[in-house]
Amino acid sequence: MTFDNIFIALLLTLIAGMATAIGALMAFFTKKGNNHHLSGALGLSAGVMVYVSFMELVPDAVESMEGIVADPKLAMLYVLLSFFGGMALIALIDWLVPEDENPHEVHHSPGTPLDGSRLKRTGMMLALTIGIHNFPEGVATFVSGLEGADIALPIVVAVAIHNIPEGIAVSVPILQATGNRRKAFWYSALSGLAEPVGALFALLFLMPIWTPAVNSVCLAAVAGIMVYIAFDELLPNSEAYGHHHWAIGGVIAGMAIMAFGLLLF
């Protein structure tokens, strides 16, 4: 593991996290309208995450584990436990977040206005809870970055795309409550900083004990985290922003782009 690998992984994680700030800027300068393209983009992100998890990360985890465990079935068992352990971790984080403040739950009925103080509180709580959700995503993005740019770049793009609407979700209620664009922007940006913080956590606490076994467990757990995010956040939001066929088309396109991209590079 070279310094360049680590630096690139950290940089890519920072870029993915800062996409929430892009979402804040979009909220300031765009009007509500046709969301079909966002629906397709979220579906594409889901397709990328699912494909790379099952076709790259899990096979790499199995190969790494088989290098230290003689029994192939036992090696696969360890990988499966790590995969579903990653799912369980992100599901637990999701469960611990109160439903009213969950960044991918409906907070109030459409057309029902919220008062300024509640709007501000909603935005602040969304910033906090999105930050909590982004922490394991930062670990996942960092670990995938260590595997190489060919795997990391599509994941970073996928994470960034799904962070943009989260940035919008944070900034809009704060902007409407306070009229302060700077405050709305910085709350969104700070929620995204949880991803590079997650990457630093992985660097400080995982890298010193990095072995083939740790590598295998982390890759499988990251795959589980990304599959859960795809099914629990990206696909439902993709459906919510547009039509079913836009969402499914995005998923298929994401898988195809990832498949041919890996084949070519």
Read off the pLDDT of residues 230-249 as tens digits, 9 standing for 90 and up.
898 778 878 877 678 888 99
pLDDT score of 61: 93
Quote the CA–CA distance of 54 and 239 in Å, as a whole number.
Answer: 23
Q: Number of structural domains, the chain?
A: 1
DSSP state string for 65-111:
HHTT-S-HHHHHHHHHHHHHHHHHHHHHHHHHS-GGG-TTS--S-TT
Write down the mean pLDDT value for the chain. 80
Cα→Cα distances 74→20, 71, 78, 81, 258, Å: 41, 5, 6, 11, 30
Q: Burial-class residue 209 by CB neighbours within 10 Å (0-12, 13-18, 19+).
A: exposed
* DSSP designation for 58: H
Give the pLDDT confidence of 90-115 residue by residue, as tens digits.
Answer: 888 878 765 555 545 544 443 344 45
Helix (H) or strand (E) holding 205: helix 194-205
> What's the domain range around 88?
3-264
- Asked if residue 166 lies in contact with residue 21, where contact means CB atoms within 8 angstroms, the answer is no
Higher pLDDT, 265 or 146: 146
Helix, strand, coil fractions of the chain, as percent rounded to 5: 85, 0, 15
Angle at 124 between CA 16 and CA 165, to 5 degrees: 40
Give the pLDDT confidence of 123-179 residue by residue, as tens digits.
Answer: 666 677 677 767 877 887 888 888 777 777 877 887 787 788 778 767 776 777 777
Is 137 flagged in the annotation as binding? yes
Is 102 flagged in the annotation as binding? no
Is 166 flagged in the annotation as binding? yes
Two tokens, residue 2: 């070279």
DSSP state string for 188-254:
HHHHHTHHHHHHHHHHHHTGGG--HHHHHHHHHHHHHHHHHHIIIIIHHHHHHHS-HHHHHHHHHHH
pLDDT score of 39: 78
Two tokens, residue 52: 């790379």
pLDDT score of 112: 42
Give the pLDDT confidence of 176-225 residue by residue, as tens digits.
Answer: 777 788 888 888 888 889 899 999 998 998 888 888 898 899 889 989 98
* Residue carrying the six token digits 């996409």: 19
Interhelix angle 3-17/149-178, rounded to 10 degrees, is: 30
Query: Count of CB atoms within 10 A of residue 164's CB?
Result: 24
Higher pLDDT, 87 or 233: 87
Angle at 117 between CA 116 and CA 121, to 5 degrees: 115
